[in-house]
């Protein structure tokens, strides 16, 4: 039986969302046209939903999204405004409309957002094939991980940016066109610049006081270079340990797929993971819960995940 999805409200919450297409890992149905269409769908739906997209990366058979979910749904008035702006070909609604009352809580929900995104893209994908296809495109339910603000969010963004490097598609993540990082370097503007700067700077606190988009890009570029250098050293350590028949300590690697970022459910320091899980399941239920853990190779920071996962 599948576990219920963990959703946390409080004063707002950051999520890492991902899903993969059906088939084997060698099935790569997304080319340049499909990746661009998926990006456009995300941009379009972000005008309807109150969720705030922070970063996006579309790969050949999967995607990664980080976004912020506000603590409260939009008002009926705001829901009506968003509806009328998005559905320009429909009869406009007012704040007093039953549609606005029903719509408002949906616009703040990741499940409804992902359902619309994946369904809309699947319909377009199936119709656009040379031989019309039918049926599901995605392998299953999308995966969601709650991220602690601060360095956890920062490191999740780095993990997403480095996806094309990890897949050996490019040597420099700035050369990958279908990620926000690549767009930022190609065009000089982040596709979700306002959200990105606001949330990353807010998340980092006083450390990022006064940072603008240019400074943020510079700091992130420097840290990405540091992480890739640390990953290269981690590869050497791994090889040496295996050669000497020693088992290396668990490390949250950025140069290969690490399941904690997609399956860990909640990621942050120990207190954050317990607080969020306790709010969902009750504090007594998680007192003796054994958490997963790992260190980042570049900073040595210890992070915990709600789910303990076997090594990938």
Cα-Cα end-to-end distance for the chain = 23
Largest Cα–Cα separation, the chain? 71
Question: Does the predicted model carry a pTM greater than 0.75?
Answer: yes
Helix (H, G, I), strand (E, B) or coil at 178: coil
CA distance 113 to 51: 8
**What is the rounded distance in angstroms from the CA atom of residue 105 to the CA atom of residue 42?**
19
Q: Please, what is the Cα angle at 53 between 48 and 59, to 5 degrees? A: 110
Q: Which helix (H) or strand (E) holds 15?
A: strand 13-20
Phi, psi (degrees; rounded to nearest 5) at 208: -105, 15
Give residue 18's pLDDT.
96
Sorted by sequence, the CB contacts under 8 Å of residue 228 that are 6+ apart come out as 162, 165, 254, 255
Q: Where are the beta strands (DSSP E) in 111-189?
A: 143-147
Residue 81 three-state SS: helix
Beta carbons of 148 and 274 less than 8 angstroms apart: no
Burial status of residue 222 (CB atoms within 10 A of its CB: 0-12, 13-18, 19 or more)? exposed
Quote the CA–CA distance of 176 and 185 in Å, as a whole number: 10
- Report how far residue 274's alpha carbon sits from residue 166's, in angstroms, rounded to the nearest whole number: 31
pLDDT tens, residue order, the chain (312 aa): 455 666 666 678 999 999 999 987 777 899 999 999 999 999 999 999 999 999 999 999 999 999 999 999 999 999 999 999 999 999 999 999 999 999 999 999 999 999 999 999 999 999 999 888 888 999 989 999 999 988 899 999 999 999 999 999 999 999 999 999 999 999 999 999 999 999 999 989 998 999 999 999 999 999 999 888 887 765 554 555 555 555 555 545 444 446 778 888 888 888 888 888 888 777 777 777 888 888 776 666 788 888 877 654
Tokens of 104: 């408002």
What whole-number distance in Å separates Cα of residue 262 and Cα of residue 147?
11
Q: Nearest CA to 7 among 150, 111, 106?
A: 111
The confidence score (pLDDT) of residue 312 equals 44
Tokens matching residue 216: 């943020």
């Amino acid at each position: 039986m599948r576990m219920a999805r963990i959703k946390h409200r409080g004063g707002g919450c950051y999520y890492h969302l991902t899903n993969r297409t059906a088939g084997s890992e060698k099935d790569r149905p997304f080319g340049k046209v499909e990746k661009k269409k998926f990006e456009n769908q995300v941009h379009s739906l972000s005008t309807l939903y109150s969720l705030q997209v922070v970063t996006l990366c579309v790969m050949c058979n999967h995607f990664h999204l980080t976004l912020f979910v506000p603590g409260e749904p939009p008002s009926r008035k705001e829901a009506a405004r968003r509806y009328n702006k998005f559905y320009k070909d429909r009869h406009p609604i007012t704040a007093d409309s039953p549609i606005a009352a029903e719509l408002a809580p949906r616009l703040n929900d990741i499940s409804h957002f992902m359902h619309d995104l994946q369904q809309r893209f699947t319909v377009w994908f199936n119709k656009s094939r040379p031989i019309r296809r039918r049926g599901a495109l995605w392998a299953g339910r999308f995966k969601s991980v709650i991220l602690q603000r601060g360095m956890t969010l920062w490191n999740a963004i780095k993990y997403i940016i480095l996806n094309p490097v990890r897949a050996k598609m490019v040597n420099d993540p700035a050369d990958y066109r279908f990620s926000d990082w690549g767009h930022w370097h190609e065009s000089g503007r982040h596709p979700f610049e306002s959200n990105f700067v606001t949330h990353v700077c807010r998340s980092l606190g006083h450390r990022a006081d006064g940072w603008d988009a240019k400074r943020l890009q510079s700091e992130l570029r420097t840290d990405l270079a540091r992480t890739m250098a640390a990953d290269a050293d981690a590869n050497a350590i791994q090889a040496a340990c295996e050669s000497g028949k020693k088992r290396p300590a668990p490390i949250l690697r950025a140069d290969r797929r690490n399941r904690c970022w997609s399956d860990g459910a909640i990621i942050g320091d120990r207190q954050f993971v317990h607080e969020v899980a306790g709010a969902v399941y009750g504090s007594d239920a998680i007192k003796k819960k054994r958490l997963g853990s790992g260190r980042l190779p570049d900073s040595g920071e210890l992070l915990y995940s709600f789910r303990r996962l076997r090594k990938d």
